[in-house]
Structure 1
């Protein structure tokens, strides 16, 4: 019912169209427009039967940004999607991106700075303030868009344990390259050619959108303007604190197990699992501390 009410209220070129529904007994059906090219994650991370060249990827990135800008700033209703990810971006016959799956969407009151809600979304795309405190604003979608933009550019999911250690987590790898003036090394190696200026724009936008502090993330209308080249991409100066924390968590600690002697066992702190293929999660709150989300699925 949430999905029907939300998607019925909005219409945009970059949002999936809902044609009808069935709510009878235990039958729950939604009838959407048919989208021939399936989802973005299948095109990027699947068997790649559909090859996305650079212009296609750039247009998908820009179209997705326009769809989110409409939800956040142009629609009569202010809507936070809450589950922006590659599998929720569908592609039509002309590879126009359509944001789909509004089952977790929240209507947002302009008069409030944020709303507090139980955490729902997909691991790997969750903004830190939302994952840790349940603070929901449109900047949660901006963060997720930043992850998606970097996935589109690199052609890889936000987490891939098959890669060498320094490349496993996309955001960490992107920052490593950025800090070493090798940002363009992030571009998908299967791309025969690409526009360097546009690629640097996408990287800059991706790093801006995934800043730890919501206020440092640009609104989606500004993201559209930066990707379109109407304004310069703002410079990114500091690595987000959550990446620094991940790296600190990897420092090994020694825990004494034998009180009669100094023998120790080396253990590693667990890291955030950011698999882009993770299913949507809803995280409850601890009965001991109602303000503290239980994040075992996220940070261990």
Structure 2
């Protein structure tokens, strides 16, 4: 059992506390962390969760000594588990819910490395057409604080990139003027070197075709249009170095649009 304690001076208040208790209490899915109990006493709010032996996903993918434990098959299963959890939230649950804070640190791993989505304090229940709200630009939505299911899909795509690359979304990417993992991935795509995004720990176990399909959320490669430049990329290109990809590999690749769908 894990205890999450929220003091009154913490960033999460009573509203977020109640939101998490209500939503996790109503949601039943194997890819969500289970809430065992809660208590409010002396200006402290306490949540009791099931114990996750391997803690959070970010601990494994960003710590090099641990990332070697994540071969391709295991990363494949983790991505699929997160996808099943999101599908339940967005489509299969009686309550249609936007998580609004999906990231690697909010995905916990049990003793068998099964992923469990956690932290529903910012989640929101939506109804009817609100879930199908059209987004002209994902960026404009974020700037005004508005979210839709497409916000979660975008966040999921970032998590996929982090799982496959072993890199954080924010960081210095080999001094290539890319200010995020999204922009770095886009520059590699334009240079026809996208497989270089792969974590070096996957050198022996990775299935490159499966990895590329994950970048497209498992959709049929031939049915997708050419990708458009995502909103967050740098305007500078990475250095032109000899490509390490064969022509046949390049011809099989495409990538989903970075805009929320």
Alpha-carbon contact 2:81-2:115 (below 8 Å) kept: yes
* 2:227 corresponding residue in structure 1: 238
Alpha-carbon contact 1:18-1:33 (below 8 Å) kept: yes
2:95 and 2:74 mapped to 1: Cα distance?
A: 30
**Structure 2 gap ranges (5+):** 1-17, 237-261
1:158 aligns with 2:169: yes
Alpha-carbon contact 2:186-2:229 (below 8 Å) kept: no
Alpha-carbon contact 1:161-1:168 (below 8 Å) kept: yes
Relative to the length of structure 1, the TM-score reads: 0.66
Alpha-carbon deviation of 1:168? 4.4
* 2:99 corresponding residue in structure 1: 81
* 1:72 corresponding residue in structure 2: 90
Alpha-carbon contact 2:59-2:66 (below 8 Å) kept: no
* 1:32 corresponding residue in structure 2: 49
Secondary structure, aligned partner of 1:43? helix
* Structure index of larger Rg: 1
Alpha-carbon contact 2:188-2:194 (below 8 Å) kept: yes
Alpha-carbon contact 2:173-2:184 (below 8 Å) kept: no
* 1:251 corresponding residue in structure 2: none
Q: Superposition RMSD on alpha carbons, in Å?
A: 2.1
1:241 and 1:232 mapped to 2: Cα distance?
A: 21
Alpha-carbon deviation of 1:162? 6.3
Count of residue pairs brought into register by the alignment = 212
Alpha-carbon contact 2:57-2:104 (below 8 Å) kept: yes
* 2:252 corresponding residue in structure 1: none
Alpha-carbon deviation of 1:27? 2.8
1:188 and 1:235 mapped to 2: Cα distance?
A: 25
1:45 and 1:28 mapped to 2: Cα distance?
A: 30
1:247 aligns with 2:235: yes
Alpha-carbon deviation of 1:49? 3.2
**Structure 1 gap ranges (5+):** 116-126, 206-225, 249-300
1:134 and 1:96 mapped to 2: Cα distance?
A: 32
Closer, same or farther in 2 for the Cα pair 1:102/1:79, shift >3 Å?
Answer: same
Alpha-carbon deviation of 1:26? 1.7
1:197-236 aligned at under 5 Å gives the runs: 197-205=209-217, 226=218, 232-233=220-221, 234-236=223-225
1:176-228 residue CA offsets vs partner (Å, 9 max, x unmatched) = 222232221111012232111111112233xxxxxxxxxxxxxxxxxxxx2xx
Alpha-carbon deviation of 1:156? 0.6
Relative to the length of structure 2, the TM-score reads: 0.75
Alpha-carbon deviation of 1:47? 5.0
1:177 and 1:18 mapped to 2: Cα distance?
A: 41
Alpha-carbon contact 1:42-1:48 (below 8 Å) kept: no
Closer, same or farther in 2 for the Cα pair 1:38/1:113, shift >3 Å?
Answer: closer
* 1:145 corresponding residue in structure 2: 156
Closer, same or farther in 2 for the Cα pair 1:236/1:84, shift >3 Å?
Answer: farther
* 2:40 corresponding residue in structure 1: 23
1:120-165 residue CA offsets vs partner (Å, 9 max, x unmatched) = xxxxxxx513312333211100000000000000011011126323
* 2:76 corresponding residue in structure 1: 58
